[in-house]
Amino acid sequence: MAEANIENCRWCLANGSAGAEPAASNQTQYLMLKPTPPNPSAMVIPFRHVETPFEFNSAEWADLGEMLAEAKRQLDQFQPEGFTIGWNVGATGAQHIFHAPMHVVCRSEKDPGAGQGIRDFLR
């Protein structure tokens, strides 16, 4: 179900419903960590309310590399052997909150789906 509006959006920080403080931020995005096993992860989330990465402006795209590097730096403590990185876009694409977080998921050889790509991993 899509978010009704910006005021109810879980990832718009001004709403206070993100559940934790950001682990890092830059001018256009912030980082949330989910350190829970078996696949610790992070989300890089734009401050601006946009539903999909197709709506990112040039500053958001330019800042994304910095936040992706920071996500990796913070997730390295879990000693991942790989990562799955991507977006869920649209309800059919498994997007549940219509704000565009990029998911960065730690992977290991012990994962039941080790060696499978994002399509198979997220099923």
Residue 8: its pLDDT value, please?
Answer: 80
Q: How many CA atoms lie within 13 A of 35 on its CB side?
A: 8
Sheet containing 24-25: give its strands across. 24-25, 29-34, 41-46, 102-107, 82-86
pTM of the predicted model, to two decimals?
Answer: 0.86
The model's pLDDT over 49-80, given as tens digits with 9 standing for 90+, comes to 999 999 999 999 999 999 999 999 999 999 99
Name the residue among 43, 53, 32 with its Cα closest to residue 98.
Answer: 53
Which value, in Å, is the radius of gyration of the alpha carbons in the chain? 14
Averages of pLDDT over each 10 residues, the chain, 123 residues: 64 81 96 92 96 97 97 97 94 91 93 71 52
Residue 38: its pLDDT value, please?
Answer: 86
Q: How many CA atoms lie within 13 A of 66 on its CB side?
A: 13
Residues 6-121: name the CATH superfamily.
HIT-like (3.30.428.10)
